[in-house]
Amino acid sequence: MSTVETISPEELARLALGCLEDKKASDIRTLNVVEKTILADFFIIASVESTRQARAIADFLRRELREH
């Protein structure tokens, strides 16, 4: 039986921010939308230099955040 570690939305956002910084994303912004929508607690927006970098970051985030 697998156990999944539950972390808070704030911790998950910090983890995502760290991943974006590690992968050299720029202009990273975090928007707290907990009072505005039920879809998410945070939106994280970042800039990248190329489509290839965007895909690499998206794949990396999926792998890293899937555990949580």
- Residue 20 belongs to a domain with what CATH number? 3.30.460.10
In a domain, residue 27? The reply is yes
In a domain, residue 3? The reply is no
In a domain, residue 61? The reply is yes
pLDDT of residue 33: 96
The arithmetic mean of pLDDT across residues 45-61, rounded, is 94
Domain hosting 31: range is 9-66
pLDDT of residue 64: 84
In a domain, residue 2? The reply is no
In a domain, residue 14? The reply is yes
Q: Report the alpha-carbon distance of residue 22 to residue 46 in Å, rounded.
A: 13
In a domain, residue 18? The reply is yes
Number of domains making up the chain: 1
pLDDT band at 5, cuts 50/70/90? low
Looking at the predicted structure, is the pLDDT value of residue 25 above 60? yes
Helix (H, G, I), strand (E, B) or coil at 37: coil
